[in-house]
Amino acid sequence: MYQASFRKDPEFEGVFWMAVKTTGIFCRPTCTARKPKPENVEFFDNTKHAILKGYRPCKVCKPLENPDETPIEIQKLMNELSDNPELKFKDADLMIRNLQPATVKRWFLKYHGMTFHAFQRTFKINAAFKKLQQGDNVLDVALENGYESLSGFNDSFKSIIGTSPRNAKLEKVVDLKRIETPLGTMIACANEAGICLLEYSDRKSLAKELEDISKYFQANVITGDNPHFKTLEKELTEYFEGKRLDFTVPLAPVGTDFQKNVWKILASIPYGITTSYQQQAQMLGNPKAVRAVANANGLNKISIIIPCHRVIGTNGTLTGYGGGIWRKQKLLELEKAILF
């Protein structure tokens, strides 16, 4: 752990925290502060134990914060937009809430690839798209969403959806949302059929997965609300509180028939139980397909619900996990899984 901290190895984020006896502070493994001597440190597997022993959180690496977590005030803005897409927050409105417009802009550019005002337009157009698909009149939808002219609405709609409002019924949209969990921020996607993605926001393959989903459904992936998100967030909260063993939220997995069969077997692994790639292959009816099964597991885009974290090595080791081995360990600890 000391060597990992010395290297500032991000693979150990969430696995341990290092406390410094001489300063009375504790840090993340990736802290940029000068490293103390080995004899002056001790390690903890959670921040609570470090605090109970009298250590203070480091002001440099802020170990009590999730670096990618949505700030509370920004989350409030997004919740209000979700409840009422017709809202429009101006810079003056942000300042009334003690939010600096430039700070909000930087956050949205970093985590959504667009400014806050562009995010609002996208969210609003997504809501308008759904109304049009339900048969609402174009002019009525434009006025309801705060557009003073039909031409302005048409231009915004076409720039985001890729077609005019009158052709909305011919287009498809997959909704996207950030969700906060005890293991970090996750990105969820859903269409009318169900959840098609639930991934950790720091997963390197996330951009490719979003591209695959867009191609698979021939749809635009756009930030917006979806009825399945409410069910998902409720069930995830219950799961992390130890109150839910199974998920009921509908799924719409993206993959080949073989991959979907592998994921179906994954989904059948009970809470608190682990299995191996070899056992998965046997359940699939092809004991020699171990490598193909392992590859399909790695391409699973719906973490936790399709529980690839319950698959370990035949020797009991924690094999690879797209969200990081430390997350896999935390999930198995939460489920009190028996590792064989």
pLDDT by residue for the chain (340 residues), tens only, comes to 999 888 888 778 777 899 999 999 999 999 988 889 999 999 998 888 888 888 999 988 888 877 677 888 998 998 888 888 778 899 999 999 999 999 999 999 988 889 999 999 899 899 899 889 888 889 888 888 778 788 889 999 988 888 888 888 888 999 999 999 988 899 999 999 999 999 998 888 899 999 999 999 999 999 999 999 999 999 999 999 999 999 999 999 999 999 999 999 999 999 999 998 899 999 988 888 889 999 999 999 999 999 999 998 877 777 778 888 888 888 998 998 754 4
E-state strands within the chain: 17-20, 25-27, 41-44, 56-57, 173-181, 184-190, 195-200, 220-223
Please provide the distance, in angstroms rounded to a whole number, between the alpha carbons at the two ends of the chain. Answer: 25
Task: Give every strand in the sheet of 41-44, ordered side by side.
Answer: 41-44, 17-20, 25-27, 56-57
Q: Which of 31, 61, 189, 308 is catalytic?
A: 308
Per-residue model confidence (pLDDT) at position 338: 55
Cβ distance 284 to 268 under 8 Å?
no
Please say if 196 is a catalytic residue: no
Cβ distance 276 to 313 under 8 Å?
yes
